[in-house]
Amino acid sequence: MKMQNKNSQTKSILWVLLAVMMTIPFTSCAKKITFVNSTIVPGAEGYVKIKKDNNKNYIIKVEVSDLAEVDRVQSSQTTYVVWMETDEGNVENLGQLKSSRSFLSKQKTASLQTISSYKPVKIFITTENGTNVQYPGEQIVLRTDTF
């Protein structure tokens, strides 16, 4: 009788552990949001990954491919700048997209990874004349929907 109770308890514990282990990967994954197709640079594609860290900050990773040179989009501008709209309605400059090409590929990619204490609700990219701008320009090249 005692052996059956132990086996039953052991099975119950194992099922609970299995259930917990199955839910952890789903809760720890980063949220992935794709950019809306652009009319300004129609070939560009990309996404944003957002993950909350242990300090309750937001790790924001932006990846874009096939983004045209900034001077081809708007000749007077020199830089792509990533912006974040926060849940408080503020707009924050996250930084400049860094461009690169793969060794064996002609595909041009651009990326940015940063951390913010503010909760993002929308990410967008503009063309700017430098990186230290306080407010976004009028030409939004790529944007996400509100998430």
Phi-psi region of 13 (alpha: psi -120 to 50; beta: other; left: phi over 0): alpha
Burial class (CB in 10 A: 0-12, 13-18, 19+), 82: buried
**Contact 107/101 with Cβ under 8 angstroms?**
yes
Q: What is the pTM of this model?
A: 0.78
Q: pLDDT (tens digit, 0 to 9) for every residue of the chain, 147 residues total?
A: 455 556 677 777 777 766 666 655 544 578 999 999 999 999 999 999 999 999 999 999 999 999 998 988 888 899 999 999 999 999 999 999 988 876 666 678 999 999 999 999 999 999 999 999 999 999 999 999 998
Pair of tokens at residue 55: 């300090």
Pair of tokens at residue 122: 């929308």
The DSSP letter of residue 87 is T
CA dist., res. 20 & res. 24, Å (int) = 6
